[in-house]
Amino acid sequence: MRYRIINGANLLHTIREKIINYILNLKGLNGKIYLKPIHVVIVKKGNSVGKYVYVNRYWWKIKYSGKRNSTSKVKWKYLGKSIPLSKEYGLRFKIVGNDIIIDEKSLMKLREILGDILEKYNIIEEY
């Protein structure tokens, strides 16, 4: 079952803040690996462009590669999604226009993360 959250893209900032707070509390496993807060994949097929957003789903190792001016240069090395907790806390959804298309499992997790904030949005069952 999929659901459409009307104007749900407006929630991305709030989702990101909540996930970052979770990650800050997690503090990485042994300080070496982290749950990347948001990973965006853009897929182009012909004239259409799809934007997929994965929240708290993939584990990465951060490698620092020096500084550019006063900003640290960071590279994320992908480790996979099989490390414990990633399935428990991961979200997966697609952005279509200003709406979010999300499966039932991810919607339940999003409700846990956002609480009453999500109730302000119109959620329509798609199929």
pLDDT per residue over 108-117, tens digit each? 888 887 888 8
pLDDT per residue over 52-107, tens digit each? 888 777 777 777 788 888 888 878 777 776 554 444 456 788 889 999 999 998 89
Q: What is the mean pLDDT of the chain?
A: 79
pLDDT band with cut points at 50, 70 and 90 for residue 32: low
Rg over CA atoms, the chain: 16
Total domains in the fold of the chain: 1
Query: Which structural domain range is residue 105 located in?
Result: 2-125
Spatial distance between the Cα atoms of 19 and 116, rounded to a whole number of angstroms: 16
